[in-house]
Structure 1
């Protein structure tokens, strides 16, 4: 039996500045603050205003997010989802995973097979350069932690023996390029981009809650389950991570029995594929996909298991 769920709280309306090329975090927050028009110094969670000033320094996740969301309702999404990353929304990637004939040209579909791996090497440099550029052009705030990586070449130059500054910078560049490539190939191919995973534009469940929606947009990798090292270094146990982002990853494997039982109860399943090449292949297949799915996740589940939709 499929339980009736409350309407999704995931917003379908982007903030005012979303259409602009400048889509960094500060712009998103500024747009939300202008759109929500919350009394200055307060936070809105759903339709209730809160004064969290005395709680900022006690927040287990640190004060930054509460400080950034003061004066608008952006904290509502975090409160509902218990975790929200603006990183991917802050960057206009040259990859387009949205299945759309209008939004995706042939270069994005096929030439991306060539230029995307090259872009992986420069992701770190790209994000840093964009932050600096936006701070100059748009006046976005620059945080001191943005410059922490430069401690490495400075330390190599000062304490690395006879290395010149140029040699230290060359070694640092190799570290950054290789680290960027490894991070990108793991993170961007990890758990969300596969033609069998729901993307923007695909049909969604007619009756769903946030948990089911999250599971529909996630894939897991078989070989990572049960291996703590691989899980921590390769974004493993990803479905449980999204459902319980505040729990230690060492605890997540204990939840699998209840997780699978809940999926069965709600006639859902989490896509799971062999790691590593299957997920990379799926990511490029998703880059090429322009047709949206014909059925939503629940309908595909029933079809797969030879069952029919229940009449309302």
Structure 2
């Protein structure tokens, strides 16, 4: 199929935007063919052989293993606050200059919004001890997952089928919120808590491609897999090729939410891309069968209710996060020029949400403080609030709008975006 039409000319004729990209592995393989990294790692216009560094990488080997053969410029810049230190390290692995221009519209000019904000954030965070804060996020996700496992045992002990199913739905809801909170740890260096998301059938490896490499870097564009994988059931772009079901019945799109995460498991199983971590999906059915009196069939039915409820909750929270408000940039909207500061792009694709309750249990389970999380994805979520004043001051300096919207307004906005056909005018570029 032909590539999707993009606001950015650089993506007008490349296969990584084709409609037949249906999995994270399809997407990363397309980038290996298109990024001009030549089986190496590309940062800006330079190629590096990081093979000797994979096992020494402080963030863990998986990051480099997955990205071999691709352009990692945005990941390199945004995942390392101390740019000078990591630049000194990576120079040891320099091979040669790339022979093709970068296929990305995003820039990181020294005096641009992102690098100015990043330098200020690094200075701010140098004054604190991160470990004093990260224990909070650990407590949050451990609590959600432990409550989920306890509820699983409760499901297995119920004798009434109706009570079993009601408790299974409750278990799935808590698991969904716990999965949202646990996603924090998939952004950090390799750690055992990142595997909590596997309980809801999400693959850490696949998630890092589709969410970290794709969504976080190319937010709301044709390169964002969270925008494209569900086509034609969900169509976020302001283009006139929306299926009539989306145009006429946008409020019915949540019908597919329970099937999204199990569907991704089916796709990677069919394509033979499962790994050993996928065995963790059987923890919940094992609890259902080992700690109670449920038959195998009853346990499987309860498990089905848990995972489908979890998928619904996780997807609803994700789509109700600040990205799909109709005033945000979505690919297909008009832009000024062929390039944009990456940090500006992140602010244009995320509306600020008014948090009625300042509680880390709530913010982590609902993708709170979302714009700052996108700007500094490698930071543990417990550190994000420390940058709020710095962020607001820098945005004011660059003339950026931080008007907050309520969670309800943003949630309703996603359905308005689903039916929006008219491109927005360009955002003001300082």
TM-score norm. by structure 1 comes to 0.80
Distance 1:189 1:11, change over 3 A: farther
TM-score norm. by structure 2 comes to 0.60
Contact 1:225 1:237 in 2 (8 A): no
Contact 1:224 1:237 in 2 (8 A): no
Distance 1:38 1:260, change over 3 A: closer
Among 270, 273, 286, the residue aligned to 2:402: 270
Partner in structure 2 of residue 304 of structure 1: none
Partner in structure 2 of residue 138 of structure 1: none
1:84 aligns with 2:221: no
Contact 2:36 2:42 in 1 (8 A): no
1:232-247 matches, within 5 Å, as: 232-247=364-379
1:62-81 matches, within 5 Å, as: 62-70=60-68, 72-81=69-78
1:115-126 matches, within 5 Å, as: 116-126=253-263
Residue deviations 1:121-163, cap 9 Å, x none?
212211111222233xxxxx32222342122112322x22322
Q: CA deviation at 1:18?
A: 3.6
1:291 aligns with 2:422: yes
Among 305, 313, 317, the residue aligned to 1:182: 313
Partner in structure 2 of residue 302 of structure 1: none
Residue deviations 1:216-273, cap 9 Å, x none?
0102210257322211111111111111111222222121222111111111123521
CA RMSD of aligned residues (A): 2.6
Partner in structure 1 of residue 207 of structure 2: none
Among 224, 230, 235, the residue aligned to 1:96: 235
SS at match of 1:95: coil
Q: Which runs of 5+ in 1 are unaligned?
A: 1-8, 136-140, 300-309
Partner in structure 2 of residue 52 of structure 1: 50
Of 72-81 and 182-191, deviating more is 72-81
SS at match of 1:291: coil
Count of residue pairs the alignment pairs up:
280
Partner in structure 1 of residue 150 of structure 2: none
Q: Which runs of 5+ in 2 are unaligned?
A: 1-7, 80-211, 216-224
User: Counterparts of 1:189 and 1:29 in 2: how far apart (Å)?
Assistant: 27
Contact 1:78 1:84 in 2 (8 A): yes
1:214 aligns with 2:346: yes
Among 295, 302, 305, the residue aligned to 1:171: 302
Partner in structure 1 of residue 277 of structure 2: 145
